Amino acid sequence: MALFFFEEIKLKKDEFLDEIKENCSEILYISTVHMLNKVYKENIEINEDEKLNFFENYKNYHIYLNDFAGTIYSRYASSINNLYIEMCNYLNIEIDNKYTLEHTIIKLEKQNPQLLLSLTDLDIQKQTILHFDEKLVSISNSSHYKDNKVEFESRVETLKQNIFLVKNALQIS
């Protein structure tokens, strides 16, 4: 059956969940049920754009799966990030997108020099700085960052300056 450009694809929530159940991991199915039940109380129709926008937004996984994290981590040895990647792969969504980039930048912005310098355990401090550096490298290699440098460059430069200051203060090269 051919679809025309003007024809909008809609699925009932339960139909979409059945697709996930048949084609994805058990934990992704259970997590998707959990997320959608928080957003859609009834078995309403969800159009394709609405579905893609919801599942592309990395923040939604943290918001709607926060109370479900114990099950994800302990019972299924998985993570929110793994679920996001699996869903993106299933829905053919680019994983390197504005949501994942924004999430990474916000996490690094919370780790300001004052916080990093206040860490009392030296091993944790060094590991945190190393992890910070690794995230900066992944941002620099991100295709979404490269394609949207104007939007993110000043924030990333501030992060680079912050970690440089911390390394200098701690005499770490």
The answer as to whether 3 is a domain residue is: no
**Within a domain: 48:** yes
Residue 36, classified by CB atoms within 10 Å of its CB into exposed (0-12), middle (13-18) or buried (19+), is: buried
pLDDT on residue 10: 76
In a domain, 15, yes or no: yes
Q: Name the domain boundary from 91, 117, 142.
A: 91
pLDDT per residue rounded down to tens, the chain (173 residues): 444 444 456 789 999 999 999 999 999 999 999 999 999 888 888 889 999 999 999 999 999 999 999 999 999 999 999 999 999 999 999 999 999 999 999 999 999 999 999 999 889 999 999 999 999 999 999 999 999 999 999 999 999 999 999 999 988 87
pLDDT at position 8 is 54
pLDDT at 112: 94
Shared domain for 33 and 77, answered yes or no, is: yes
Domain count, the chain: 2
How far, in Å, are 25, 51, 132, 163 from residue 110 at the CA level?
A: 33, 30, 11, 12
61, part of any domain: yes
160/111 same-domain check:
yes
The answer on 79 and 14 residing in a single domain is yes
53 and 106 belong to one structural domain: no
Q: Which of 91, 116, 140 is the last residue of a domain?
A: 91
| Rounded-to-integer distance, Cα 51 and Cα 93, Å | 11
Same domain, 106 and 51: no
4 assigned to some structural domain: no
Domain-ending residue, one of 70, 91, 112? 91
pLDDT at 7: 47
Domain hosting 125: range is 98-170
Residues 41 and 103 grouped into a single domain: no
117 and 84, same domain (yes or no): no
User: Could you tell me if 106 and 134 lie in one domain?
Assistant: yes
Contact indicator for 106, 100 with CB cutoff of 8 Å: no
pLDDT recorded at residue 102: 97
pTM of the entire predicted model: 0.85
